Structure 1
């Protein structure tokens, strides 16, 4: 069953719906992404299938690939123009799903492509309300950031990675809880978050985060054109540095 879309909803889905004209129950691209069928997904893309087609629950193929931790499919979709910050019906982005799945590789791919670490809150559009039958389904998830999800799954690598890229450790969900409140006291995840809550980021880290937020997905290309020393370019790009001692706190 297909529903006509009469206007885009930029506050909710960016321009995902733009040019598509319909929603679908579930497409072949969704299935291939969810099952990790890389060759089939590549063939579908080569034949012109849309990578931003949304199901009735607003899930995109990128959501499907991320929640299953299929990094190769995630890369294929992103290379083909998948919207990195697409929102599903409960407000989750692909980055949230990748964190929930505990897939560090998917998280890295998404952040490298400019995924928003702390997605802004939003209000429901009339169409979104209609899709949910007017009920506030999973409302508590709407305020959760990727860092909340990482804390839930107790993945220390994900927590550290998100904070490195500017994750807000003090963000609160609908229950007023910070990410640390989803960890077990004394656990590695809790100790990590306690450290970052008590220790301000260094000036060099704040500068790096600010630059990346300002430049967005253009960052990697811009850094290499500024005439900076290779060591600084590596630092700003989160790439291995040939002289890491230069950037010790």
Structure 2
């Protein structure tokens, strides 16, 4: 049996389970003067609500950097977990606040907390903050952290169409063909009908023939004759092996129909009778 406080509430890991306190409210609203007064009067900065939200969670989720600073300086537990298992760093990344993320990391927040839910990197990709994504990667974030609902951070960034985050992840070495129920990031790009995403993923080695748990390729999720369909049709053309070999030889990307200047050679892709034909000039 867990110990109880005088008011009958269970005593949690970081304090009594209570309703939202004035400290929570001040932290969430960014009322730094009131928060400072509460701390100086002896208010507990580690009290948790019935869903295990600490004032530091509340401040981080709203991107209240000055309140985060006050709470950390007053002894707030930097890696406290809420009922979902998320830490304040997860919440700061969800808010897209680079200031809060830097503060939490400077106080020792774990960039790869042992979670069964979305990691801080997932949350940064979800919010679309490429700056937060880059910072987390710089301090050792796991590029292949896997969430049972979202998959990898790359899956999240593609599903939300955050191209800048996708680019940062791929340049950092994220596995472009990582699968969630056999579904790759390219499946997500096809589902959201985003040609720029499709081209970027293919350029980094995305497998256009990968099949998900329904047996479908990315091209099965686009509308016939749409721009994404034509893009995938191009990459599935009989010339694909030629283009892939050319890309590998010149360490460049496979160009879309048109002209592409790769490593000093110009590859011209022309459409003849519904087929794509490459030539050099």
Greater share of residues in strand? 2
Q: Deviations over 1:33-88 (max 9, x none)?
A: 01110000000000000000111110000001011111000000000000000111
1:192 maps to 2:164: no
In the TM superposition, residue 175 of structure 1 has moved relative to its aligned partner by 3.1
Matched residues in 2 for 1:45 and 1:165: separation? 31
Moved over 2 A (4+): 1-6
Matched residues in 2 for 1:149 and 1:186: separation? 12
- Give the conservation status (yes or no) of the 8 Å contact 2:56–2:68: yes
Q: Deviations over 1:179-214 (max 9, x none)?
A: 011113681211110111269xxxxxxxxxxxxxxx
| Corresponding residue of 1:219 | none
Unpaired runs of 5+ residues, structure 2, are 1-5, 176-281
In the TM superposition, residue 24 of structure 1 has moved relative to its aligned partner by 0.9
- Give the conservation status (yes or no) of the 8 Å contact 1:86–1:93: yes
- Give the conservation status (yes or no) of the 8 Å contact 2:14–2:47: yes
Q: Rate the CA distance shift 1:176–1:66 in 2: closer, same or farther, 3 A.
A: closer
1:156 maps to 2:127: no
| Corresponding residue of 2:73 | 79
| Corresponding residue of 1:218 | none
In the TM superposition, residue 143 of structure 1 has moved relative to its aligned partner by 2.2
- Give the conservation status (yes or no) of the 8 Å contact 2:112–2:120: yes
Report the count of equivalent residues. 168
Unpaired runs of 5+ residues, structure 1, are 9-14, 122-141, 200-249
Which of 1 and 2 has higher RCO (CA within 8 Å, sep 6+)? 1
| Corresponding residue of 2:101 | 107
In the TM superposition, residue 176 of structure 1 has moved relative to its aligned partner by 6.4
Matched residues in 2 for 1:42 and 1:180: separation? 40
- Give the conservation status (yes or no) of the 8 Å contact 1:172–1:178: yes
If the length of structure 2 is used for normalisation, what is the TM-score? 0.57
- Give the conservation status (yes or no) of the 8 Å contact 1:59–1:89: yes
Q: Deviations over 1:123-180 (max 9, x none)?
A: xxxxxxxxxxxxxxxxxxx421100001111111000000111100011001361101
What does residue range 1-249 of structure 1 map to in structure 2 within 5 Å?
Answer: 2-5=7-10, 15-17=13-15, 22-121=16-115, 142-175=116-149, 177-184=151-158, 187-197=163-173
- Give the conservation status (yes or no) of the 8 Å contact 1:3–1:23: no
Greater share of residues in helix? 1
- Give the conservation status (yes or no) of the 8 Å contact 2:60–2:88: yes
